[in-house]
Amino acid sequence: MNIALIAHDAKKELMVQFCIAYCGILSRHNLCATGTTGKQVSEATGLEITKYLSGSHGGAQQICARIACNEIDVLLFFRDPITPQAHEPNDNDLLRLCDVHNVPVATNIATAEALIHALERGDLDWREIVNPTYNKKSSY
């Protein structure tokens, strides 16, 4: 599966801790992330992550393009609901694309844990039927 990771600044450490906790599961999948999030997660876990631009410099739009092309199977997007985000309209576009393309998305750690356990159980294997082309380990 192709999993995208995005975290607002106030949630980056939470994303790092989440990825440390679930490193064993995540290591069996293709990971991509916005620049800073990907760098921090990769350094903390040793996971191989395709890094795009930082979120505020277009990384979220790069992930949007992957979603629009049906190249992302799961999005873990740890949002900061308290602090206003300058790029909030882009965040809404990202979530809208996930809805349009039926991409499971988690915006907080509770839902991320539910998705990661579903991934481990095989509950998301239907994504491989939807798009078998992009679900090979070296597919980026």
Of 136, 140, 118, the C-alpha closest to 128 is 136
Where in the chain are the domains?
2-131
- Residue 89 above 70 pLDDT? no
Helix locations, 35-124, DSSP H? 35-45, 59-68, 88-100, 109-121
Assigned CATH topology for domain 2-131: Rossmann fold (3.40.50)
pTM assigned to the model: 0.90
> Model confidence over 96-109: pLDDT tens digits?
999 999 999 999 99
